[in-house]
Structure 1
Amino acid sequence: MPTIDISDEVFLAVAPAAVAPCVADRAAWRRWWPDLVLRVDEERGVKGVRWSVSGPLTGSMELWLEPVLDGTVLHYFLRAEPAAGARRSAAAETRHRRLAARALAFELRDRLDSGRAPGCPPGLVSNEER
C-alpha cells in the first residue's frame, strides 16, 4: 500500500459532460497541482482523466466522473510515495493533498453549480435570485 493513499468524492449537480471540459483543462492542472509533474495515462472524456505523477510525489492520480441521479460524483484518487528528502511528513503531505482535492472540488462546484437552489434540479435558481 502506498504511503499516501487518498480517495475522496463530492457531488456536483451538473452532468458529467459539463464537468469533463474543466477536468481536461491542462491550465487548471497547473493551478490545482503546481508542484506535480503530470503525464496523462488515459484521457477518458466524460469519465475523467488518469495521470502518472512525479516531482515531490511518485505514483498515480485520477479524477473519475461518475453520473449519479441528476449530476456527477467527482471521485479523486491519489496513490503515491513521497520523493526522497521530502519537505513534509507523510501525514502532513496527505493532509495537504486532501485539502487541495477539496479546494478543486469546491472550485468546480462554485463554477458549475452556482445559483442552483438547494434541493432543486440543475438550472433552477432560488426565488430570491429571480
Structure 2
Amino acid sequence: MPAVDVIDETFLAVPRARVAAEFADPARWPAWWPRLRPEIAHDRGADGIRWTVTGALAGTMEVWLEEVLDGTVLHFFLRADPPHDAQPRGRFARRRWARRESDRWHLGFKTRAFTLKRRLEDGRPAGVAPGEG
C-alpha cells in the first residue's frame, strides 16, 4: 500500500473537452504538481491522463474526466511513496510523513481544482446551465 493515497473529486459545470485541455499541456503541470516530475503512462484524450511521477514522490497519478449532467467530474488519484533516498526512518516517522504529505497534496490539488472551476465557469450563476449565463 502506498504511503500517500489521495483521492478527490470536483464537479465543474463545463464540457469535458475544455477540462481535458487544461491537463493536456505539459507546460501547465509544474503549476498543478510542484516538486513532481510526471511522465505520461497513458493519455486517454478527453477521458484524462495517467502518469508515473518522480521527484518529491515516486508512484502514479491520474486525472480521470467523467461527463456528468451538464459538466465534468474531475477525479484525481495520487498513489506514491517517498523517493528511495528520502525514506523516513522508523514506523512513527513514516506515519507522520505519510499523513503530512497526503494532506499537503490533497489540499494543494483541491485548491487548484477550485481555482480552475472558478476560471472555467467564468462567473456562471448556480443553477444556470453552461453557456446560458
TM-score by length of 1: 0.90
Q: Say what the alpha-carbon RMSD is for the aligned residues.
A: 1.5
Mapping 1:41-120, distance limit 5 Å: 41-83=41-83, 84-85=85-86, 89-120=97-128
Contact 1:117 1:124 in 2 (8 A): no
Instruction: Determine the C-alpha separation between the residues in 2 that align with 1:103 and 1:32.
Output: 10
Deviations 1:84-125 (A, max 9, x none): 426881111111100111022112101111221101101232
Could you tell me how far apart the structure 1 residues matched to 2:99 and 2:126 are? 35
Give how far 1:81 is off. 0.5
1:1-80 → structure 2 map (5 Å cutoff): 1-80=1-80
Q: Which structure 1 residue ranges, 5 or more long, are not aligned?
A: 126-130
Residue 68 (structure 1) shift: 0.3
Q: Report the AA paired with residue 86 of structure 2.
A: G
Identical aligned pairs, as a percentage?
A: 49
CA distance in 1, matches of 2:76, 2:58: 16
- The whole-number CA distance in structure 2 between the counterparts of 1:53 and 1:35 is 10
Structure 2: segments with no counterpart, 5+ residues: 89-95
Paired position in structure 2 for 1:128: none
Change (3 A) 1:114 1:86: farther
Code of the residue aligned with 1:67 in structure 2: it is: E
In the alignment, is the contact (CA less than 8 A) between 1:8 and 1:75 conserved in 2?
A: yes
Whether the aligned pair in 2 keeps the contact of 1:66 and 1:72 (CA below 8 Å) is yes
More displaced 10-residue stretch of structure 1: 32-41 or 70-79: 32-41
The 1:82/1:13 distance shift into structure 2, 3 A limit, reads: same
Tell me how far apart the structure 1 counterparts of residues 53 and 125 of structure 2 sit (CA, whole Å). 38
Greater per-residue helix proportion: 2
Aligned residue pair count: 125
Amino acid at match of 1:105: A
Residues 15, 71 of structure 1: 8 Å contact kept:
yes
Shift of 1:12: 0.3
